[in-house]
A = this chain, B = another copy of it.
């Protein structure tokens, strides 16, 4: 398993890791219980404040833990954790302690009680800031209040779900289009 050395990262820039569309692991805690869910439906909604929209299904055991604690951590796994991410999505926190079952390490957060997953490339501590879309759309709007990102690699090899059990693995990152951007667009 990779061991990352992480540093603080500006919350307004978490788009650099979420906008490409990776599968993420969402960790949560409530009254002594922790859980992890695998999530593919999320989007950046604003940079300052740093807002993320996340679809969390009512059938997910994490749904109530996050709704009640009003917190979570969005963790970004690299491809080495793909098997674990699938298995996490395939079982329920009702039946198993996922940190224990998948030998993942809890790291204490600075701003939230939900645990960070040490084995992930990045960890974004989030507060639930808008509950009004949960009933209609299962849409949780979070604000990232603290971000921890590995210092290396510069660009994580994330996994991107295509449905039907297929994943696209992040390919190369290219800078050759950068010169086409107006400075104010960067």
Q: Which residues of A contact B (CB under 8 A)?
A: 13, 15-17, 19-22, 40-46, 51, 53, 55, 82-83, 86-87, 89-90, 133, 137, 139, 141, 155, 157, 160-175, 177-182, 185-186
Q: A16 CA to B160 CA in the complex, in Å? A: 10
Could you show 10 A-B contacts with beta carbons less than 8 Å apart?
Answer: A19-B41, A19-B160, A43-B53, A46-B137, A53-B139, A89-B185, A137-B141, A155-B162, A166-B175, A167-B177
Q: A81 CA to B180 CA in the complex, in Å? A: 13
Q: Which chain B positions have C-beta within 8 A of A169?
A: 171-174
Q: What would 12 more interface pairs be, CB under 8 Å, given A155-B168, A167-B173?
A: A19-B162, A20-B162, A40-B44, A41-B45, A45-B137, A82-B177, A89-B185, A90-B180, A165-B175, A165-B179, A168-B172, A170-B171
| Interchain CB contact under 8 A, B41 and A161 | no
Q: A167 CA to B87 CA in the complex, in Å? A: 29
Q: Which chain B positions have C-beta within 8 A of A46?
A: 137
Given contacts A43-B53, A163-B13, contact A171 B168 (CB under 8 A): yes
Q: A15 CA to B41 CA in the complex, in Å? A: 9
